[in-house]
A and B are shown apart, each in its own frame.
Chain A
Amino acid sequence: MQPLKTILMSDFPSSKYDRGKIFAKTGIKVGANYARHYLKTILGSTNKQNSAFYNQTAQEIFSEFTKLRGTALKIAQSLSIDQGFLPDEFSEVMTQAQYSVPPINRALVRSIIKQELGKFPEQLFDSFDANAVAAASIGQVHKAILKDGRKVAVKIQYPGVRDTITSDLGLAKTLFKRFVKNKAELENYFDEIETTLRLETDYIHEGRTIDRFYSRLADPQIDIPKWIEDYSTERVLTMTYLEGEHLKEFLARDPSQVEKNRYGQLLWDFFHEQILQFDEIHADTHPGNFLMTTDNKLGVIDFGCVKKFPNDFFRDYLLLLPTHLNRDIKEIIDLYKRLDVLKSNPEDDPVERKYFEFCINYGYTFAMPYESNSFDFGDPEYKELIRGYTRNAPLGNEIRGNKHFIYSTRVHLGLYHFLMKLGAEINTSKSREIVATAIKEFDFISISIKKSPGNYPGFDD
């Protein structure tokens, strides 16, 4: 009977009290697990036992977070991208948050479609699968066939999910404010997250984004669905259905290195092509948002979170790559100051020095793939290096960095982690040229930056 229980919509707590209760319950559970684990450690536990412990704790957190859906689950997804913070067992379990949340009551799905599209699914579609093919934080996806025979994916937004943005972020903000010194910066960060999340719950906005990305980036190797406007509203999104495998399924069938490299290269080029277009960037680089399609294309299936960064920020962000590779300390310090990473010269202040040393080493590691013409993301040493830096990040009681880092880092880190999981070897020569071209273009178009275009060896060559 257990599977029946898991599909109940009642597991969706919408009130602030219900959601707070689940946060507290999760905290107690995790605390109890850690206490048990600590006792075992004293008695001498093995690596295998550690792994089982992490897995059990992660499963419990996942199970509670999936009940919350909405914003809290988005946080879980972010943790699954930024793997360095978490043991592997945690990341694997949290990755599920992207597309395997228990779906909602099937009668509700039917009612939502009636209210949003004016007719019941059986009247609207030639066929409609009441069982969701994927369920994530904000909505779930159903497979259907239109009367004209087209296969479509119908994304249904969970009822009350918009309310969770205010309540969950309010809760998180209250917690953070207790130990963060620069509260004004914190407000900026939260405003940025809230604005993005609100847009993610507007499916008309996402539909239009799908249209724009389709005309910009769909090509013989990249598959992007087509938006079906007549079957879409703010809470229901219909698009053509892409058949394919997610990364996990793809890797499970033990593909050849050539296949891995090919898909990795497609993803790498897809992101750099976006940089060159000076337009919106797909900002949710999560394995759940990409497919290896049945016709050997890279499918991109979720456009809820896209960002267009301000020119001055984006230029400086891209500049981080060549300046780190060149080890141009003066330029790096200037950049860090412009990007709000440093407040003063690191030579004069030990706190600033701590941030600087961490950032410059991490930045260099991050820029490494651009150093030569090819880079092997499957190299376990590189993975360990990235994880090591993330784990040893200097955590203080103040927020550092421009608010746009939230999503630019998410894009970049997500891309790296995807390629590391895939174990792909990537040709990066073209992307180096793209970054160099983009920086020059920004210098040209941006009137707010007075600095003259620099010369960035290794990128301009």
Chain B
Amino acid sequence: MTKEIKEKIHIAKSGARLYTTNPYFSLRALADAADIEIDTIYKYFTNRRSILEFYYESIMIEYQESTQNIEGYLDFTLSEKLSNLALTLIDLMAEYKEFVRQTYKPFVVCNSRNQAFNQAFKVQLKIIYENDPHQSRLSTVFHTDLLYKAGLTNFHLLIRFWLNDESPANQKTMELVDKWTSFVQEVHYTAVIDKGFEFAKYIFYNSPLNPYGATSKNNSDE
């Protein structure tokens, strides 16, 4: 992580912390809270909103950074990688839960001007799905933007669930993530559709009712 990125993250987090006490804080107050010069803030951001929006981008950067350091991450299953994405983001947001409660919807879910977090999330989903070698052949057909959009929507719903989760150490959220990702994995790993497709193909080409079939017979005649 570069010095500039670290500085930007520091400013965004200080802003998120300040927001919960005063949503209309001045940049001077932020500079004081973050213990930096106000010019440093202007170097990276144009206004208060851009700082707060960057908070969500920053947790995605931190997720990428931390995932690189996980021993044996490449051996993780699809379910574990998806769980890691969801839970790491939630764990990073946990320190700023009140800020997330107040801003997640306007800054992330319903923000048509800045889609940086949503885009980054979908990119991460794409990386996870496209690099998992255990999926069935047919499931790879569904690796489209629709799948990643659905994943993002699920994540938004998960955040809503987590914000209302009062179980000790967010155990209910953990269980939900686990059940959700396990289901997704089961769908993507199952060979039933592959086998069914092969079976149907065989029947199609070898059925006596198929006018174009009996290829094996023709082949053997040759």
List residues of A whose CB falls within 8 A of some B CB: 1, 4-5, 7-10, 12, 14, 104-108, 110-112, 114-116, 120, 122-123, 127-131, 159-160, 235
Contacts and interface: CB of A to CB of B under 8 A. Distances in A.
B91 A106 contact: no
A159 B79 contact: no
Interface string B79-93: 111011001101100
B175 A14 contact: yes
A10 B78 CA distance: 13
B66 A122 contact: yes
Contacts of A9: 83, 175, 178, 182
Contacts of A14: 175
Interface in B90-146: 90-91, 94, 134
9 contacts: A4-B134, A12-B175, A12-B178, A14-B175, A105-B83, A107-B76, A110-B88, A120-B88, A122-B69
Given A105-B80, A105-B178, A111-B88, A10 B183 contact: yes
A107 B89 CA distance: 12
Given A130-B71, A159-B171, A160-B175, A107 B183 contact: no
Given A1-B189, A10-B183, A235-B169, A108 B83 contact: yes
Nearest to A129: B71
Contact of B72 (A112, A131, A160): A131
A248 to B, nearest CB: 26
A108 B71 contact: no
B80 A107 contact: yes
A106 B76 CA distance: 8
Contacts of A107: 76, 80-81, 83-84, 87-88
A327 B79 CA distance: 63
Q: From A1, A8, A14, A114, name the one whose CB has the most chain B CB atoms within 10 angstroms.
A: A8
Contacts of A110: 70, 84, 87-88
A159 B76 CA distance: 20
Contacts of B182: 8-10, 105
A115 B169 contact: yes
Interface residues on B, range: 20 to 34
Interface of B: 66, 69-72, 76-77, 79-81, 83-84, 87-88, 90-91, 94, 134, 169-171, 174-175, 177-179, 181-183, 185, 189
Contacts of A104: 178
Given A106-B72, A107-B80, A130-B71, 19 more contacts: A1-B189, A4-B134, A7-B77, A7-B80, A8-B182, A9-B175, A9-B182, A107-B76, A108-B177, A110-B84, A111-B88, A112-B169, A115-B94, A115-B170, A120-B66, A127-B71, A130-B72, A159-B175, A235-B169
A128 B76 CA distance: 15
A123 B71 CA distance: 12
Contact of A8 (B70, B76, B79, B84): B79
B171 A128 contact: no
Contacts of A1: 134, 189
B66 to A, nearest CB: 6
B36 to A, nearest CB: 24
Q: From A5, A123, A128, A159, name the one whose CB has the most chain B CB atoms within 10 angstroms.
A: A159
Contacts of B185: 8
Given A1-B134, A110-B70, A10 B91 contact: no
B80 A128 contact: no
A108 B77 CA distance: 13
A108 B134 contact: no
A128 B72 CA distance: 10
A108 B87 contact: yes
Q: From A12, A108, A127, A129, name the one whose CB has the most chain B CB atoms within 10 angstroms.
A: A108
B71 A128 contact: yes
Contacts of B88: 107, 110-111, 114, 120
B187 to A, nearest CB: 13
A106 B84 CA distance: 8
B88 to A, nearest CB: 7
A279 to B, nearest CB: 31
Contact of A130 (B70, B81, B170): B70
A122 B169 contact: no
A130 B77 CA distance: 13
A1 B77 CA distance: 10
Nearest to A127: B71
Contacts of B79: 8, 10, 105
Interchain residue pairs A-B with the least CB separation, the first 5: A10-B182, A107-B83, A107-B84, A111-B87, A9-B178
Contacts of A130: 70-72
A2 to B, nearest CB: 11
Contacts of B84: 106-107, 110
Contacts of B76: 106-107
Contacts of B177: 108
B178 A10 contact: yes
A136 to B, nearest CB: 19
A107 B73 CA distance: 9
A159 B69 contact: no
A297 to B, nearest CB: 30
A108 B39 CA distance: 41
Contacts of B91: 111, 114-115, 120
A4 B189 contact: yes
A7 B171 CA distance: 18
